[in-house]
């Protein structure tokens, strides 16, 4: 089993719609169990919301994607609340998930999270950086 990782919602969304991208390669690693992906109910709820509202996907598609993400992920219920991302407090849920599962990496395209670079020994990296680090 590989590294413990939290894939931010933007990585999950990119993977769904852009199969040739780096985010999709990372999700494939999770499906193949080469990395250990973790999600929280908040991350799953955000995924559903983004697919429904921002991408205007039909409910059947949304539910299929939710089932798929759950199939290659471990769900944790964060017990720790943090307030670390001043610019966008919604991003704190990603940090909370990562702390709860003792993740080594958060993979994201979110500038607010990337600006932190690291949070309590958890490296915060882009998909490109992550793929370079785990080779």
Q: For residue range 55-87, what is the model confidence (pLDDT) as tens digits?
A: 999 999 999 999 999 999 999 999 988 888 767
pLDDT of residue 89: 67
CATH for 25:
3.40.50.1010
The parent domain of residue 60 ranges over 4-133
Domain count along the chain? 1
CB 124 within 8 A of CB 95: no
Q: Cβ of 129: how many Cβ atoms within 10 Å?
A: 15
DSSP 8-state class, residue 39: E
Residue 46 is inside which H or E element, if any? helix 41-49
Q: For residue range 41-52, what is the model confidence (pLDDT) as tens digits?
A: 999 999 999 999
């Amino acid at each position: 089993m590989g590294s413990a990782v939290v894939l931010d919602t933007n990585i999950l969304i990119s993977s769904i719609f852009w199969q040739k991208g780096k985010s999709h390669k990372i999700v494939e690693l999770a499906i193949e169990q080469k990395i250990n992906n973790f999600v929280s109910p908040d991350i799953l709820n955000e995924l559903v919301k983004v697919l429904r509202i921002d991408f205007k996907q039909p409910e059947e598609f949304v539910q299929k994607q939710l089932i798929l993400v759950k199939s290659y992920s471990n769900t944790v219920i964060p017990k720790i609340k943090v307030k670390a991302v001043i610019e966008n407090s919604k991003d704190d849920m990603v940090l909370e998930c990562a702390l709860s599962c003792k993740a080594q990496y958060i993979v994201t395209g979110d500038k607010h999270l990337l600006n932190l670079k690291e949070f309590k020994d958890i490296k915060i990296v882009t998909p490109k950086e992550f793929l370079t680090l785990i080779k």
